[in-house]
Structure 1
């Protein structure tokens, strides 16, 4: 585990994005720092713990469920276009 010292204006999702690579990983920060769970906007100088994690273990945090619908739509659209191209040939 590592630590991060906040700057004025930091939010959980901003810290998760900058320190962990994705704003969707902020629940891991909340779990590691329950004493600050009610903080929405940080002041400067607060030391928080950045947990170690394997991205494969937290995939659910990486991509919210509502985005999966868009992915399915894109896949269907690509399949439809590929099928239409085959018919034209």
Structure 2
């Protein structure tokens, strides 16, 4: 079943990506699934966005190249 998200006044792409996909870095996937709204920067309320399926097993908290001891 396809997931959707209805915007709230003031939503932004990165906020929606973080809340629905778990990471603001997945914003490009959200944009690809909702190309008709790509011109919007700050959303009004009531727009229904498609939320793409994401394989969260490939998303990591830290980039592997950063190592264990270094801060982000």
Q: TM-score range by the shorter chain?
A: 0.7 to 0.9
Offset at residue 4 of structure 1 (A): 0.5
Aligned to 1:49: 50
Q: Which 5+ residue runs of structure 2 have no aligned equivalent?
A: none
Q: Secondary structure at the match of 2:49?
A: strand
Alpha-carbon deviations, 1:14-72, whole Å to 9, x = none?
0011111111111100000000011100000000000011022xx4xx67xxx777x25
Count of residues paired in the alignment: 66
Q: Secondary structure at the match of 2:5?
A: strand
Q: Larger C-alpha radius of gyration, 1 or 2? A: 1
State TM-score, norm by structure 2.
0.78
Q: Runs of 4 or more off by more than 6 Å in structure 1? A: none
Larger helix percent: 1
